[in-house]
Amino acid sequence: MPAQNTLFRSIVLAGERPGGNAVSHAFDIPASVLVPVAGKPSLQRVVEALTASHHVQGGLICGPTADVLDHSEELQKILGSPGFQWLAPATGPAASALRALEELDHYPALLTAGDHALLTPEIVDDFCQQALALAGSSDCDFIVGFVPYSLVQASWPESKRTVLKFSDGCFCGSNLFTALNPNGMRALSFWRQAEADRKHPWRIARRFGAVTLLRYLFKKLSLDATLKTLSKAAGCRVGYVLLDHARAAIDVDSIEDQKLAEKILKLQEETV
């Protein structure tokens, strides 16, 4: 169980799926994490937020690939940030997270995405503080951050997000996770297997059971009950914290999100 004053080390997942995505293609940039958002690449904004937080001390940037690194002065500049090192990505985000966690060999470890352009030091610290508090009162191995969908909808109703619907509310992911101890790697191993089975939904269903899936589909399953089932399937205790930051639910993995992120940042600048 980590102490309350324990510093996290971070893992920033900055790999690219084969073939890239619409954002990188639209900007003719080899990696989506280098797409500019209000004048700065998403990855730079993530690294700046982690560096300015009070709970994180450096870490690993897993990706993009070595050929991108060799030909991108911008990426080399970002990697010049004190305390951060580059690591070659594996195939898929879950496998990359596992590789990075093994290389980092430090707990607690904070995981986030390189396209999380709206991340702030305040969001990072809120997540870390809540995660440490939960770790002190439970036997969690892995913690996930969620954002209430109502908060996102009220702030940016035009934003299209993936929404997880439970009997006790609807939530969006925050792209913030922490492995509190080595046992937390089991959650990432489960994620990797789920990625491998994504074209075979019946295999994923078999892991949870038909009754559980039907209860979720009909919104009869609470978030707590869902994570309890996930914990059993993964072989480790998975907990969660709720973040009162709508922008924590926005990453830049589509052209629409890139435009929304720029709009949010420009409004922020105007109000400062």
Give residues with Cβ within 8 angstroms of 244, minimum separation 6.
Answer: 126, 148, 151
Report the Cα 263 to chain-centroid distance in Å.
22
Lowest mean pLDDT among 22-26, 137-141, 177-181, 235-239: 22-26
Give residues with Cβ within 8 angstroms of 209, minimum separation 6.
Answer: 229
Indicate the angle between helix axes 201-208 and 223-234, nearest 10 degrees: 100
Structure tokens at 103: 């290389």
Cα 112 from Cα 174, distance rounded (Å): 9
CB 188 within 8 A of CB 101: yes
Q: What is the pLDDT of residues 97-142, one digit of tens each?
A: 999 999 999 999 999 999 999 999 999 999 999 999 999 999 999 9
* pLDDT given at position 131: 97
* pLDDT given at position 201: 52
Look at residues 110, 230, 107, 113 and name the one whose alpha carbon lies nearest to residue 164. Answer: 230
Look-up: residue for tokens 């399937």?
233
* pLDDT given at position 50: 98
Quote helix, strand, coil % in the chain, to nearest 5: 50, 20, 30
Look at residues 148, 168, 139, 145 and name the one whose alpha carbon lies nearest to residue 226. Answer: 168
Indicate the angle between helix axes 121-137 and 42-52, nearest 10 degrees: 60
Q: What is the pLDDT of residues 132-143, one digit of tens each?
A: 999 999 999 999
More confidently predicted of 238 and 5: 238
pLDDT band at 16 (very low <50, low <70, confident <90, very high): confident
CB 157 within 8 A of CB 149: no
More confidently predicted of 194 and 268: 268
* pLDDT given at position 267: 87
Look-up: residue for tokens 């797409």?
35
Cα 131 from Cα 178, distance rounded (Å): 8
53-70 average pLDDT score = 97
* pLDDT given at position 193: 85
Look at residues 190, 196, 228 and name the one whose alpha carbon lies nearest to residue 212. Answer: 228
Domains of the chain: 8-271 (3.90.550.10)
Q: What is the pLDDT of residues 169-223, one digit of tens each?
A: 999 999 999 999 999 999 999 999 877 655 555 555 566 666 676 676 667 889 9
* pLDDT given at position 6: 84
* pLDDT given at position 212: 72
156-176 average pLDDT score = 94
Query: What average pLDDT is seen over the chain?
Result: 91
* pLDDT given at position 218: 66
